[in-house]
Structure 1
Amino acid sequence: MTLVHDFDSTLNRKNTQCKKWDTYGDDVIPMWIADTDFKCPEPIVKAIQKRAEHAIFGYPCIDKGYEEAVCGWQKRRFGWEVKPSWVEYTPAVVPAIVYAMRAFTNPGDNVLVQMPAYHPFHQVIPHNGRYIAPNLLLHNEDGSWSIDWEDMEKKLSDPRTTMFLLCSPHNPTGKCFTREELEKISELCIKHNVFVVSDEIHSDIIYKGFKHIPFGSISEAAANNCVVCVNPSKTFNIAGFRTGAAIIPNSNKHNRFYSEMENLKAFGRNIFGTLAVQTAYTKCDYYADQLMEYLQGNLDYTHKFLQENIPQIKLGPIQATYLLWLDCKGLNMEHSKMMKFFLEKAKVAMNDGYTFGPGGDGFMRLNIACPRAQLVEALERMAKAVKELSK
């Protein structure tokens, strides 16, 4: 019997050491950081409860069931045949990016990043002595985003550029890359001897009409020139367990990655996190399917609401992620005042587009992974605040 999850149910997250809800005041609706306001799937909760009853939480040993669970998910959901020997446990995606950067580049090298970009990318690259080579995505008239191929190859052909940090699907624009786009990226990177690190943390959140293609599944050549970083945290709301995986098909590259982890002593596994991931990837397909149905409803509602009530805010076609990249330039407001306006006048917390780097001015990022009633309230607050602007 298939379980049914109630995504309309609400749970008070205040005062639970919750970054999303405890950062701003009680009168603010938090629609910012990328976790959901949905309860975890029942199988995960029960598995954690059962393990907690054991009452001893000493050092864990490596359970190959973890790697096998990652492989099974990639096969069922995306058709990618991953071998357990390719999988390496990591505490999260960003640490995996750091391990890869230290393993496959040298201080002073350039790392190509498509802009606007997930804000930690702007931090971890310079913090590790590398430089960002920005490749701005092109914002089309219909609100969609496309790749500037000419600029990309120019940046990749620079001998100082040794890594491409790809975010697929793309955060914050919500772009789901096509097979043809990924094939061309792979060809260009191989041509110019550039290694690819693909952050695929949002790969489960794909809307109707689109399909996620794991970078390592494109071809044998692509697989031998990449690290694919995955994590079920966005899908199943388990970011607090700090548990993810890196998939590295090439054994020599895998050894280099592992050596860097060894240098940094980055091996500790979280007992509950490992169990949560194994359970998510083996018993919670139903939840991922139902989640996407609910998010599709939230996305459709938001599109319609903005068109009818806040036409000054534009939302282009969103292909992936539950993070909506709102074009707020129609408000005719200095970007420096935008975050304050929504926070103080609308009492809605979103992510400031400025923090995503070039291409982020005039944009705000809205998280719609919440019960419908919460989304409705947030949008109505925004509409009321914008209406007050014209008075």
Structure 2
Amino acid sequence: MRHNFDEIINRRVSECKKYEAACYPEDVLPMWIADTDFAVPAEISEAIQQRAKHPCFGYPIESFEFEEAAARWERVRFGWNVDPHWVKYANGVLPFLMYAIRAYSYPGDKVVIQPPVYPPFSAIVRNNGRQLLENRLMQDENGKYQIDFDDLEKKLKDPRTKLFFMSNPHNPAMRCFTLEELKRIGELCLKYNVLVISDEIHCDLTYQGYKHIPFGSISEEFANNCIVLINPSKTFNIAGFRTGAAIIPNKRIRDNIEITIVNNKNYGRTIFGMLTFVTAYTKCDYYADEMMQYLQQSRDMMMAYMKERIPRIKLAEPEATYLMWLDCRDLNMTQDELKAFMFNKAKLGLNDGATFGTGGTGFMRMNIACPRSTVEQALEQLEKAVNAL
């Protein structure tokens, strides 16, 4: 490999939220928030250093390189021929959820989500005065999450339902939705005139045997009824630059979103955000490929280890993301007891499953985007703690 993913980097001296915000003691491994412990690609580091040599950092121009880089990534990686003019700059993915809510619904209207899911989905709906409808994902006998399409149709047909927030690949369910599933979602949303907001921030993080399909690539009809959100932060460890993109093929939707952006005075780009975004999506394909090879080995090792040595904690086969969704219900603990057990006994800083909403109680989320030695240490600590119960 060109990149060394085994390298141990001390992040406690870098104002790092994963390590410092929660004030974890030295004997607790922070494996929660969704960034990686890997160094960025050399190309990104070099581009930043080169630009930083210039002593002025005033307002930048809105270079079309940004839009072209986003379009290139979707075309080369996923086969979706995106027109660069469809691309809108964003200081992250979440602002576009808010823009969509404000542009395409009124207070009291309804938004459908699929819990357990990324916590800001529900928060941003409620904080903007809209009602939340839950199409809860259901587990099969193997722990794999499935969509309840009968329930989904019931929620979408409500005349006050205006938006459907989709996480694909799904965080934390580790699902990479199939073409059949996406088609059924798209057809139902068209039938009931519900706009799809597809958060595809984990699109690069799929394991062998699975393939990410951009929602807008499936058909022209779907493309004209969606906003697809992407961001290189999860893949290239550049979340701190707060830069993402929205792909909006429908000009009417795009223009209405632009009005909302202007109304909220949220225009203007960042120098280093654009620089890292463009560099990642034009020069760092090899890094994304190598990281997934590395994560594949960590994921496979973890699945085998838990099945053989920690069977009381279940892990369904992860299809995507480096965020492992641990089913701890066989430990027979309350959620507070489970959190305390992971922190005080296993010495692991994990995400509380209950924060992901309905269906998250009894679960914890573990981030394995770190050197494999760290994953191995975490599993050993978890095994020791469970065996001591």
Same fold (TM over 0.5): yes
The one-letter amino acid paired with 2:33 is I
Partner of 2:15: 17
Partner of 1:304: 304
Q: CA deviation at 1:26?
A: 2.0
Partner of 1:128: 128
Are 1:158 and 2:158 matched, yes or no? yes
Aligned-partner Cα distance in 2 for 1:373–1:155: 45
Spell out the pairing of 1:353-368 with structure 2 (5 A cutoff).
353-368=353-368
Aligned-partner Cα distance in 2 for 1:58–1:14: 30
The one-letter amino acid paired with 2:9 is L
Partner of 1:118: 118
- More off after superposition, 334-343 vs 211-220: 334-343
Partner SS for 1:136: coil
Gaps of 5+ in 1: none
Are 1:193 and 2:193 matched, yes or no? yes
Partner SS for 2:158: coil
Partner SS for 1:306: helix
Partner of 1:323: 323
Are 1:259 and 2:259 matched, yes or no? yes
Q: Deviations over 1:325-378 (max 9, x none)?
A: 111111111122111110111110110110001010111111010000111111
Preserved contact between residue 303 and residue 317 of structure 2 (Cα < 8 Å): no
Q: Deviations over 1:214-259 (max 9, x none)?
A: 0111111100001001000000000000000000000010000111
Are 1:85 and 2:85 matched, yes or no? yes
Q: CA deviation at 1:67?
A: 0.4
Partner SS for 2:222: helix
Q: TM-score, normalised by structure 1?
A: 0.98
The one-letter amino acid paired with 1:227 is I
Partner SS for 2:76: helix
Partner of 2:4: 6
Partner of 2:240: 240
Q: CA deviation at 1:267?
A: 1.1
Partner of 1:103: 103
Partner SS for 1:115: coil
The one-letter amino acid paired with 1:187 is E
Partner SS for 2:114: strand
Aligned-partner Cα distance in 2 for 1:267–1:207: 36
**Number of residue pairs aligned between Structure 1 and Structure 2:** 387
Partner of 2:280: 280
The one-letter amino acid paired with 1:8 is D
Q: CA deviation at 1:287?
A: 0.1
Aligned-partner Cα distance in 1 for 2:141–2:188: 27
The one-letter amino acid paired with 1:272 is F
Preserved contact between residue 164 and residue 197 of structure 2 (Cα < 8 Å): yes
Aligned-partner Cα distance in 1 for 2:53–2:344: 45
Q: CA deviation at 1:387?
A: 1.1
Partner SS for 2:132: strand
Partner of 2:268: 268
Q: CA deviation at 1:65?
A: 0.4
Preserved contact between residue 113 and residue 122 of structure 2 (Cα < 8 Å): no
Partner SS for 1:297: helix
Aligned-partner Cα distance in 2 for 1:318–1:299: 8
Q: Deviations over 1:186-229 (max 9, x none)?
A: 11001001011000000000000011000111111100001001
Aligned-partner Cα distance in 1 for 2:375–2:107: 44
Q: CA deviation at 1:95?
A: 1.0
The one-letter amino acid paired with 1:38 is F
Aligned-partner Cα distance in 2 for 1:376–1:259: 50
Aligned-partner Cα distance in 2 for 1:73–1:55: 31
Moved over 3 A (4+): none
Aligned-partner Cα distance in 1 for 2:297–2:267: 40
- More off after superposition, 31-40 vs 95-104: 95-104
Preserved contact between residue 204 and residue 235 of structure 2 (Cα < 8 Å): yes
Calculate percent identity across the aligned residue pairs. Answer: 54
Aligned-partner Cα distance in 1 for 2:105–2:113: 14
Preserved contact between residue 165 and residue 198 of structure 2 (Cα < 8 Å): yes
Preserved contact between residue 313 and residue 328 of structure 2 (Cα < 8 Å): yes
Q: Deviations over 1:83-117 (max 9, x none)?
A: 11100000001111111111111111110000111
Q: Deviations over 1:59-90 (max 9, x none)?
A: 01100001000000000000000011100000
Q: Deviations over 1:164-197 (max 9, x none)?
A: 0000110001000111111110110010010110
Q: TM-score, normalised by structure 2?
A: 0.98
Q: Deviations over 1:1-42 (max 9, x none)?
A: xx7000000110003110001122222100100000000000
- More off after superposition, 22-31 vs 142-151: 22-31
Aligned-partner Cα distance in 1 for 2:83–2:209: 29
Q: CA deviation at 1:145?
A: 1.1
Q: CA deviation at 1:268?
A: 2.3
Aligned-partner Cα distance in 2 for 1:204–1:85: 22
Q: Deviations over 1:121-165 (max 9, x none)?
A: 121110001111000111011111111011000000101111000
Partner of 1:44: 44
